[in-house]
Amino acid sequence: MTTKRIAALIGVLGLAFGVAACGHINNPFSKTQPGKYKGTGTRIPVIAFDQSLKVADALKGAEFYLPDPQAVTDWPLAGGTPAQSVENADAGHAFAIDWRTHFGRGSDRAFHVTAPPVAADGRIYVMDGAATVSAHDLKSGREIWRKDLAVRTRRSGEAFGGGLAYADGKLFVSSGYRFVAAVDAATGKLLWRTMTEAPVHAAPTVSGGRVFAESTDDNLLTFDAATGAAGWAYQALPESARILAATSPAVSGDAVVASFASGELVSLQASNGNGLWTASLSKSNRNSALSEIRDISGRPVIYRGDVFAVSHSGLFTSIELRTGAEHWQLPVTSISSPWPVGDVVYITDTAGEVLCVARDSGLIYWITDLNKSAKKAKDRAVWSGPVLAANRLVVVSSKGEAVALNAKTGALEKRLRLGSEALMNPIAVGPDLYVAAENAELIAIR
């Protein structure tokens, strides 16, 4: 992956926003594509510079509650649970690399690794940029099985991405090759495959016997987890400009919360798709055309009766799950998922700042700028995360670095060179953290 890949993640599709009849772009890096972006990725923090964020005077030095670290035995979904919420994992104490292994085709001009790892029953599952899925031993990284699931046709010859989910001994796979499938988690044997009209670039969510997946035409699709039979679907407002990163819906009880490229945040009944409420996380910024990309590419998170979500156009909000009433909003631009825990919620913005925000009021406890030492724009990294593990916030970067911050103060505690660029949150299982890097390398951090 190059800096052009990072710029495209946020900016290339934004340039397409003003083009008439522009649709989803499967391959924004093709040499034959007209108007290909030729910059160095320095546009990434533009929107963040227009924000006005500061630590609340009333909270300077104030204490807040965080739950104690707890062992996480499985990580079956992209966000850990159907609600996309995990609190404080007891993992990564040593913050040193334990092992690493390659698992297939990495990110390049045509293919992109978009699937966070999932783990269950002593195995960790990964998918490369070309829809090859593999299972590995959690302790050693040894490959157990490998399955190429790509459906190569003229229509999807350059497809990429997708995601994974685990439930009841099955591994569920969504793909840019326009399908959702289930395989036997122990052997990799294909159990069923259902084709979709549009690519699916994000991981599915499995809950209550249903598979929920969002396609790139802003359609929330459902499938029977046992048979793959299509269920109800919800079509959001179509949006021509979107980010290559994609999102997974959150489920709590009979409510599913999904976000879309239009900036819509929607709550539906999980059983039948009936609407409960809709919110808009869209804000225009006359100083930046990129703010017109309203995509909510980070996963919405449900935590203690509230929904937390953030958009690329510059709104971070807390909404009551039951009613859809907004508690607060902040001018934060991000493509990462929030991490609510205890009294606070953490978020990493596109400028590389990590914020600690009071969960009930939206006031800010502290801000740590991870790009503060970058003297030139080209030296600024894209940071992904955070994950809270062993009372430290862990974030990874496009410069191939992982850092651990003190969760109470934001102070930098440890740095770790990964040796590979990383754009997806780590996951925590047992004593280790796991990172799927852009070069299709799985890295275990003990």
Which residue is listed with tokens 């994950």?
Answer: 387
- Confidence label for 15 from pLDDT (cuts 50, 70 and 90): very low
Q: Has residue 6 got a pLDDT over 90? A: no
Report the chain's mean pLDDT, rounded to a whole number. Answer: 87
- Confidence label for 34 from pLDDT (cuts 50, 70 and 90): very low
pTM: 0.88
- Confidence label for 31 from pLDDT (cuts 50, 70 and 90): very low
pLDDT at residue 8, as a whole number: 44
Percentage of the chain modeled with pLDDT above 70: 83
Task: Please write the tens of the pLDDT for every residue from 121-177.
Answer: 999 999 999 999 999 999 999 999 999 999 877 665 668 889 999 999 999 999 999
- What average pLDDT does the segment 185-195 reach? 98
Task: Please write the tens of the pLDDT for every residue from 362-384.
Answer: 999 999 999 999 988 889 999 99
pLDDT at residue 377, as a whole number: 86
Q: Exposed, middle or buried by CB within 10 Å (0-12, 13-18, 19+), for 304?
A: exposed
Q: Has residue 68 got a pLDDT over 50? A: yes
pLDDT at residue 369, as a whole number: 97
Q: Has residue 47 got a pLDDT over 60? A: no
Task: Please write the tens of the pLDDT for every residue from 78-91.
Answer: 999 999 999 999 99
Query: If one looks up domain 3-445 in CATH, what number appears?
Result: 2.130.10.10
Picking from 173, 105, 159, the residue whose alpha carbon sits closest to that of residue 440 is 105
